[in-house]
Amino acid sequence: MPPCHLAKGETGSLAVRPANESQSQGWDFLLQKIYLYYSYINYHTFEKMQIGDKVKFINESLSGTITRLIDDKTIGVSIEDGFEIPVLKREIMIVTPINLVEQHDKAEIPMANKIAIGESEISLWFEQSSQTWYKASLLNNSSSDILLSVAVKQGKVFKPLFGGRIEKHTSYLINTLNLAELEEWGTYCFRIIFHEKDAEKPRIPWYLEYTFRSKDFMNVKEVNGKQTYLVSLKPNKIEPFTIATETIKIENKPKERLINIIRPEEIVDIHIHQLVKDYSKLTGEEALIIQISHFKNIFEKALALNYAKITIIHGVGTNALKQKVWKEISGHPAVKTYYEAQKEKFGYGATEIVFK
C-alpha cells in the first residue's frame, strides 16, 4: 500500500491522502481496485434490491432509502431531505435490507407513523414530494396485521414492487410516482392476507387490480403544507386460494433499455435550434410547445435534485418564450425569486431562478 497520512477535511472529517504527489498514481490505482471490489460485491445484490432498503452511495457521502424501482439497472433513492434521486444500482450498496429495517429500525421506515384516516380498511395515500411527484403509501386501517404483495402490470408483465407485513393502523411507502405520467402507471395488483388473532374462521384473502384514473385525484387535501390524495381500495375477488391445474409458460422477458438520467446543467439554453436539429418546418406555436416542455423537464429535475438556482437562456425575440417561462414560475411554491440574469454575461435574453 502506498505511504499515506490522515488529513482533516473542511467538514472536520478525516480523509486519507498520499504522502506526496509522486505516489498519487499508485494511490489512485489502489482506490480503483477497492471500487471495483465493492462494485463486484454489490453486483450480486442487484436482484435483491427492493423498496425500503437502506443504501449508501459509493462515490458520494450520501445515504437514503430505495423508494422506486425504475428498471433493471436504475432505482430511485430518497435522501435525508426527502428528495428522490434516480441512480444506477452499481453506484450504491445496501446498508440495511428491508427485512432488517423492519426488525431493528422500524421507526425510521418511510411513512411508518400511526394513522387514523380514511373510511376504507385498505387505502392508498399519495403525498406530494415535488411539483408532480408523489409518494404512494398503503394504509392499513383494518383491525388486523396484513401480509401484502404489490405488483404493477404493464402489458403482459407483472413487475413486483413490495412484499411484506404491515401492522394494523399503520402505513408503508410502496412507490413514488409522477402524476404527470398517470396514463403510464399501468395496473396495480394487490394481494392481501389478514392476520387475525383468535378468529373463529380465517378471513378470506383479498385480490385487487386497480388502474388509477384522473378522477382519483379530484379531491385534494392539504396536510402539513403538502397536497395529498386518498384512494380507497376494495377487492375485485374474495375467494379461497386454489391449486393451479394448468401449466404456465413463462416467456423470456425482453431486455429493457437503460434510461440515461443526466443531471441538468445550471445554465440551460432553450433556443429551438438547441433542442431540434431540423426546426425549419415548425410553426412558431409548435416550437414554443417544445421549448416550454423542455423547460418544465429541466425545472422539475433541478427542483428534485435540490438545486440552489438555474439560469434559463430564452433569448429576446417577441418575448413570447420569456413570458411563458415567467408564467410557469410565477407564484410557484418552490421558487424564492426570479429575475433577468446578468446582462454582461447573457445579454437581455436570460432568466435566473432561485429556489427556496
Residue 178 is part of a domain; what is its CATH number?
2.60.40.1600
Do residues 143 and 222 both lie within one domain?
Answer: yes
Is there a domain that residue 261 lies in?
Answer: no
Do residues 167 and 218 both lie within one domain?
Answer: yes
Enumerate residues 6+ apart whose C-beta is below 8 A from 247: none
- Is it the case that residue 327 has pLDDT exceeding 80? yes
Q: Report the pLDDT averaged over residues 256-266.
A: 62
- Which of 148-152, 191-195, 280-284, 324-328 has the least mean pLDDT? 280-284
Q: Report the pLDDT averaged over residues 326-338.
A: 89
Do residues 121 and 208 both lie within one domain?
Answer: yes
Do residues 173 and 224 both lie within one domain?
Answer: yes
Is there a domain that residue 6 lies in?
Answer: no
The model's confidence at residue 353, banded by pLDDT at 50, 70 and 90, is very high
Contact 299, 265 (CB under 8 A): no
Do residues 44 and 87 both lie within one domain?
Answer: yes
Is there a domain that residue 255 lies in?
Answer: no
- Is it the case that residue 192 has pLDDT exceeding 50? yes
Do residues 218 and 299 both lie within one domain?
Answer: no
Q: Report the pLDDT averaged over residues 296-309.
A: 87
Give me the sheet containing 237-238, strands edge to edge.
Answer: 157-166, 145-154, 187-195, 206-211, 237-238
Number of domains in the chain: 3
Q: Which CATH number do you get for residue 347? A: 3.30.1370.110
Is there a domain that residue 18 lies in?
Answer: no
Do residues 85 and 187 both lie within one domain?
Answer: no
**CA angle centred on 205, ends 199 and 207, rounded to 5°:** 160
- Is it the case that residue 222 has pLDDT exceeding 60? yes
Is there a domain that residue 76 lies in?
Answer: yes
Q: Report the pLDDT averaged over residues 58-70.
A: 79
- Is it the case that residue 4 has pLDDT exceeding 70? no
Do residues 302 and 233 both lie within one domain?
Answer: no
End-to-end CA distance of the chain: 46
Do residues 76 and 132 both lie within one domain?
Answer: no
Last residue of a domain, one of 193, 219, 238: 238
Last residue of a domain, one of 76, 99, 122: 99
Do residues 126 and 76 both lie within one domain?
Answer: no
**Which segment, 49-63, 83-97, 243-257, 326-340, is predicted with the most confidence on average?**
326-340
Residue 216 exposed, middle or buried by CB count within 10 Å (0-12, 13-18, 19+): middle
| 75 three-state secondary structure | strand
Domain span at 202: 111-238
Is there a domain that residue 139 lies in?
Answer: yes
